Structure 1
Amino acid sequence: EETVAKELQTLHNLRKLFVQDLQARLKKSQKQPEAEEDDLGGSVAQKQKISFLENNLDQLTK
């Protein structure tokens, strides 16, 4: 029983830390300007799409 109680307490503490971390991340992300979020989230995908389209254009114009 003592071991189970310790494990439950550990899980409870980890859950509390996890929730605090999520709340901090949420507050941080809400403070960023929307344009900056778009740049951070979509830049890699946008670069891949641009590269793909450029390659297609090169093939079509050869």
Structure 2
Amino acid sequence: DECRIRSLHSPQNFSLLRRIALNALERESSFGRSIRQKSRRAAMNDQYMISVLVAALPNSTLS
């Protein structure tokens, strides 16, 4: 398998990115659905993606 995500520090780096993304989706509360549905909606809707990113900020007051 030539997947580069399995070599060197890539597994740890991508694990951290996945954890950050999941935490951002969990913190976003305007769309009361599952993490999977929130993830799909964020992929399709730029405005929702922005609201997820804002929810990930430490001092977010827009959620």
**Structure 1 length as normaliser, TM-score?**
0.39
Structure showing greater radius of gyration is: 1
Larger RCO, structure (CA 8 Å, separation 6 or more)? 2
Q: Name whichever structure is richer in helix by fraction.
A: 1
**Structure 2 length as normaliser, TM-score?**
0.39
